[in-house]
Amino acid sequence: MKATLCVVMLPMLIAVVFSKKCRRDSDCFGMNCPKGQEVYCHFRECHCHAVHECHNATDCTDDCPIGSSPTCDNNHCHC
């Protein structure tokens, strides 16, 4: 039982130890992302995402019709 618990808990412990905490994107400086991706801070953790993707509505610069505003849905901007 103890061995099984260790096997289950070890990957979670490693993820907690090696995940970088942040308050803003600049806190993630030095994190390596795959080619074509950039780093950003989301829910106090550093993540990578494709340059053309959004992670909140402020990333969206699309011109929307009058009366609507851009939203970020599933990492893509929409009006």
pLDDT in tens, 41-67: 888 999 888 878 887 888 887 788 988
Contacts of 18-27 with CB under 8 Å at 24 or more apart are 19/45, 19/46, 20/45, 20/46, 21/45, 21/46, 22/46
pLDDT score at 34: 92
What's the whole-model pTM score? 0.49
Tell me the sheet residues that pair with 38: 49
Domain ranges of the chain: 17-78
